[in-house]
Structure 1
Amino acid sequence: MSTAPIRRLTPEEYLAAERASDRKHEFYRGEMFAMAGASRKHVAVTGNFFAWLHYQLRDEPCTVFTSDMRVEVERTGLYTYHDISVTCEQPEFGDGHFDTLLNPQMIVEVLSPSTETYDRGKKFDHYRQVASLKEYVLVSLDQPMIERYTRVDEDRWTLDVAKGFEATVELSVTSEPLPLAEVYRRVDFSADE
């Protein structure tokens, strides 16, 4: 008994299907992968971080994107979604549309239980192939903690960790340090969501 080979999509077919879909999908090596929805805590933390960044960068030549902006990792062929991205350069978009960013400077991922291993591992492996990326920020949902990876050169990254409501984290795109109390404003860590 033989099985029919799996039909692989081209990036163009993926983008056409994704633009017509009401759900988000990652794309890698010809396959589409549905993305899960976010918890209330995840949405709150992402919204707080985005609002703070947007306010801080309001007079700067930077653009802050939400999770609706797709990122293409040209070197590996991954199309994915992040929680927040920033570019302080002229945004570059793929294929003549304005929904696939090619040159993020900073990417923020809020760590959900179902995606934490991927965000720390394979997804970060892909993101490191984006030449414009200078920092990768991981935001915990278990405790007030932010991990910031900063590019030293093409193959080396440094890690800074900020913990606790009184802590702050320096970001390359802002002149003011980010207070963790702002990111975790009104977040209930005792709630299991």
Structure 2
Amino acid sequence: MHLQPLIWLTPQQYLFQERQAETKSEYFDGEIFAMAGASREHNQISANLVRVLGNQLLDKPCSVYSSDMKVRIEKIRKYTYPDLVIACQGERFEDEHRDVLLNPVVIIEILSNSTEAYDRGRKFLHYQLLDSLIVYLLVSQDTPRIEMFTRREDGTWLYAEFHGLDAIVKIESIECSLRLGDIYHKVNLPDSIG
């Protein structure tokens, strides 16, 4: 049996290839990982989050970016595509293409069955290496539930959980609020959820 040799890429080779590609791939220490498509619910939640946060950030020195903005985690040579990312005053990018953000303040991941364990575990550990990151949100796809991790001044993370369509998540670092009813608007939820 012949094994396919692994091809290791430099970050520069990855970025060149990724900017030409029709599909998205993440990069971790020389390896490339193809990304799967998202469900209708995932896309609706993402659109709702961009709309709600974008409206609240209109007159503030922050911007919200959807899943096409890459984030570089320099300490582990990783490029990733968060579902949503927010950067504030002093946004820094890798190069003149301005498609790789270096200093996100808030990262949001929308959970799916195939990514939930990774988003909660190793991916969150990787995101914690970003000194600029203050808030990490995990948004459920199938029930109105948002989990928020907030970095405190001593470097530890505070956990909070929000349930139900009337719940409100306050993201103090960017002075924004998320009412779950707005985030789950037009999302097909199980009938037992009210």
Same fold (TM over 0.5): yes
Structure 1 stretches of 4+ moved >6 Å: none
Q: Verify the 8 A CA contact 1:85 1:104 in the aligned structure 2.
A: yes
What's the CA shift for 1:172? 2.5
Gaps of 5+ in 1: none
What's the CA shift for 1:30? 0.8
Q: Secondary structure at the match of 2:146?
A: strand
| TM-score (norm: length of structure 2) | 0.93
| TM-score (norm: length of structure 1) | 0.93
| Alignment-mate amino acid for residue 16 of structure 2 | A
What's the CA shift for 1:97? 2.1
What's the CA shift for 1:4? 7.3
Q: How does 1:18-167 map to 2 (within 5 A)?
A: 18-153=18-153, 155-167=155-167
Q: Verify the 8 A CA contact 1:137 1:148 in the aligned structure 2.
A: yes
What's the CA shift for 1:14? 0.4
| Alignment-mate amino acid for residue 41 of structure 2 | K
Gaps of 5+ in 2: none
What's the CA shift for 1:87? 1.2
Deviations 1:50-95 (A, max 9, x none): 1000000101011111110000001111100011111112210113
Name the residue aligned to 1:172. 172
Residues 78/2 of structure 1: CA separation in 2 closer, same or farther (3 Å cut)? same
Distance 1:2 1:164 in 2: 53
Q: Verify the 8 A CA contact 2:143 2:190 in the aligned structure 1.
A: no
Q: Verify the 8 A CA contact 1:88 1:173 in the aligned structure 2.
A: no
Give identity over the alignment, percent. 43
Distance 2:153 2:11 in 1: 29
| Alignment-mate amino acid for residue 61 of structure 1 | P
The Cα RMSD (Å) is 1.7
Give the number of aligned pairs: 191
Residues 161/4 of structure 1: CA separation in 2 closer, same or farther (3 Å cut)? closer
Distance 2:23 2:3 in 1: 29
